[in-house]
Structure 1
Amino acid sequence: MSIIYRTSFVQVRHDPAGATLETEWLDFANSEQLRSALTESLRLGRQHRVRGWIANNTLLRTIRPADQDWISQEWFPEFAKLGVQRMAIVESQDALNRMGISTIMQRATAHTPFATQYFAEAAPARHWAASTGTTTPTPTK
C-alpha cells in the first residue's frame, strides 16, 4: 500500500493489487478537515476504481452530530456510487466515536449496497477488504 494523500490528521493509502483504499485517521479532525478529507477520499476512490474500502478509525475521536448528518446524507450516497463491494471499519479507541460511527452506519443503510465488517485491528481489515469472495460475512459487532 502506498500513501497517496496525507495531512496532519489523515492519510490515505491505495493498494492497486487489492483495489482498496484506506483512510487512516491520525488525530482529531474538525468539521472542515473531516469533510475535506472524506471528499478527497471519494475523489481518489473514483480515480483508482476501488472495490474495497478500509475506514481505519483507530485514532479518530468524536464526530460532531452535524458531521454525522453530513456523512449519512451527503457523503454516503456519493460513496455508494463507487461500486465498493466491501467496507472494513477498524474501530476507534474512542467510545464516543464508536457510537457516532454506529449512528452513521444505521442512517446510511439505504446507501450501503455492500458488505460491511468491523475489526479491532487494521491488518485483518485490509485482508478482508481486498478479498474477492462473494459471501457476506457476519459482522463482529
Structure 2
Amino acid sequence: MPVIYRTSYLLLHHDPVGNTLETEWQDFVNSDQLRTSLTEVLRLARLHRIRGYVANNTLLRAIRPADQDWINEHWFPEFAKLGVQRLAIIMSQDAMNRMGIANIMQRATAHVPFDTQHFADADAARRWAADVPATRQPAAR
C-alpha cells in the first residue's frame, strides 16, 4: 500500500482498491504526536472516503490515560461520522498498549457504528478491513 503520510513515528498507508487507511505506528509517541497524527487520519479518511481502517499497533507503546480520554471524547465521535464499516486492530507487542487499547475500545462502544476485530497478523487484518460491502444492510427486525 502506498504511504500517503510519513513521520519518524508513523506511516499512514492508503489502499485505493480496498478503500482503506492503515496507521502503522513505529514506536512510542508523545501526546502531541498522537493527537496530531490522529487528526491527520481524520482529514485523510474524509478526503479518501475510506470504508475500512487498520490500526497497526504492532510497535506502538503505551498510550497515556489523558490521550485515551481524548481519543474517546474527541477523536472517536468524529471518526464514527466517516462511514467506516470495519476497524481492524493489530495487537501491539507492548502489554501496556494492549491494556490501553482494550480500555479505549471498551469505552468507545457508544461511538462505534462499525464492525471491529482484533488481529495478530497484519495481512489478515488488511484483507478483512478491505472486504467491505458497498452498502451496509439494515438490521433485520
Q: Does TM, scored on the shorter chain, surpass 0.5?
A: yes
Query: Take 2:129 and 2:40, find their aligned partners in 1: how far apart are those partners?
Result: 20
User: What CA deviation, in whole Å up to 9, does each residue of 1:110-137 have, x standing for no partner?
Assistant: 11000000000210000000002579xx
Structure 2 portions without partners, runs of 5+: none
Which TM-score applies when normalising by structure 2? 0.93
What TM-score, normalized to structure 1? 0.93
Q: Secondary structure at the match of 1:23?
A: strand
1:102 is matched with which residue?
102
User: Which residue pairs with 2:67 in the alignment?
Assistant: 67
> How big is the shift at 1:98?
0.3
Alpha-carbon RMSD: 1.1
Aligned residues: 135
| Correspondences of 1:32-47 after superposition (within 5 Å) | 32-47=32-47
Query: Aligned equivalents of 1:23 and 1:65: distance in 2?
Result: 20
Inter-partner Cα distance in structure 2 for 1:104 and 1:124:
22
Give the 4+ runs in structure 1 shifted more than 2 A: 132-135
Q: Which residue of 2 aligns with 1:139?
A: none
Higher-Rg structure is 2
Q: State how 1:1-141 maps to structure 2 within 5 Å.
A: 1-132=1-132
Cα distance in 2 for residues equivalent to 1:65 and 1:108: 14
TM-fit CA distance, 1:18: 0.3
Question: What corresponds to 1:138 in structure 2?
Answer: none
1:55-95 residue CA offsets vs partner (Å, 9 max, x unmatched): 00000000000000000110000000110000000000000
Q: What amino acid sits opposite 1:49 in the alignment?
A: R
